[in-house]
Amino acid sequence: MPRKLTARIFRGTPRNLSFLARCLRAGDIVGVPTETVYGLAADALNPRACQKIFTAKGRPTTDPLIVHIAALDELDAIAVTNAAALRLAQKFWPGPLTMVLPAREIVPDLVRSGLPTVALRCSAHPVMAAVIESLGRPVAAPSANRFGRISPVMAAHVVEELGARIPLVLDGGPCWHGLESTIVAVGGSELVLLRPGPVTREALQSVAPVVPGSLDSGISAPGMLASHYAPRTPLRLLAQGGEAPPDAAESGLLFFGPDGPAGFACTESLPCGAEDAAPLFFAALRRLDASGVRCIYAGALPESGLGLAIMDRLRRAAHG
């Protein structure tokens, strides 16, 4: 039997914002827009509310949440900062950068999965900023998808993912980056890149040396499971050379640029520039997933700038 989708999509009007803040204050969870992907929000200081996030997503409580604040001056109350963290915040906040720092006591254990650190982000989306301000407290928000699935970049995607489990989604239009935030662990002298994203490795390097994080290193990146961001349909990377595979006629193709191989049952052509492709990427993957093809083949991009983040998501999707 199909799941009953009951979540309603609300526009981000002042009245709706104050209604949403009341829901959060009462311990409910709601869908909210950010500039990267839509989030599933709860009052970050209310463990019972945050538990609902894990339950709705089907996410293990060993996978900690990102805490969102509305302004840089709220950072100090949540985490212990250092010089590199302050430089990063000044340069990239508000924006698509998440920093992992030693947590203050105030952050509930559940939110950080018992770790001594907390992931912190200050979103540039005006609706998300207004949500945090109306609540007057930090907001915990992972991406608003079922655990391990494709991140939502439109309010309607949140309803597809969680519509039977949450009361409402605040609509902020399509997410303009379309990829989850960059995550760095900020140590004394270097930055450990735990998840590539819209703030590129090259941009981070202008602040401090960047070393790659191991995606399966357990405690340093607990949620970075190899099979994340996966469509339900099996996904494979197109062989180098780019010719069509034998099962093309019953498969879908996600390709960057105009000259993809022919013969696929359906094709999503994205721009060959990673910056232009990123905002369209997850929606294209979602359409291919819904098209009924037996397999999705994906082309490749050069792994610089945002290309690194897109290839990271494709490799994880291919792993499942």
Catalog residues that contact ligand TXA under the rule CB under 6 A.
34, 36-37, 39, 63-66, 98, 100, 112, 115, 117-119, 121, 141-143, 180-181, 183, 194, 221-224
Q: Going by C-beta distance under 8 Å and a sequence separation of 6 or more, which residues neighbour residue 263?
A: 244, 248, 249
Quick one: which segment of 44-52, 119-127, 138-146, 297-305 binds Mg ion (CB under 5 A)?
138-146
The minimum distance between CB 205 and Mg ion, in angstroms, equals 25
Task: Give the nearer residue to ligand TXA in terms of CB position, either 65 or 277.
Answer: 65
Select the binding partner of residue 183 from Mg ion, ligand TXA, none (C-beta < 5 to 8 A, by kind): ligand TXA
The minimum distance between CB 52 and ligand TXA, in angstroms, equals 14
The minimum distance between CB 37 and ligand TXA, in angstroms, equals 5
Select the binding partner of residue 318 from ligand TXA, Mg ion, none (C-beta < 5 to 8 A, by kind): none
- Give the C-alpha separation, 241 to 236, whole Å: 14
- DSSP letter string, 35-100: SSS-EEEEETT-HHHHHHHHHHHT--TTSPPEEE-SSGGGHHHHB---HHHHHHHHHH-SSSEEEE
- DSSP letter string, 134-175: HHTS-EE--BSSSTTSPPP-SHHHHHHHHTTT-SEEEE--S-
Task: Give the nearer residue to Mg ion in terms of CB position, either 123 or 143.
Answer: 143
Task: Give the nearer residue to ligand TXA in terms of CB position, either 32 or 296.
Answer: 32
The minimum distance between CB 119 and ligand TXA, in angstroms, equals 3
The minimum distance between CB 243 and ligand TXA, in angstroms, equals 35
Q: Going by C-beta distance under 8 Å and a sequence separation of 6 or more, which residues neighbour residue 210?
A: 184, 190, 191, 192, 193, 201, 204
Task: Give the nearer residue to Mg ion in terms of CB position, either 98 or 143.
Answer: 143
CB atoms within 10 A of CB 297: 27
User: Two tokens at 51?
Assistant: 């538990």
The minimum distance between CB 307 and ligand TXA, in angstroms, equals 18
- Within a 13 Å sphere around the CA of 123, how many CA atoms are in the beta-carbon half? 33
Task: Give the nearer residue to ligand TXA in terms of CB position, either 223 or 299.
Answer: 223
Task: Give the nearer residue to Mg ion in terms of CB position, either 152 or 163.
Answer: 152
| Stretch 2-21: interaction string toward Mg ion, x if CB under 5 A | --------------------
CB atoms within 10 A of CB 226: 12
Give residues in contact with Mg ion (CB under 5 A): 143
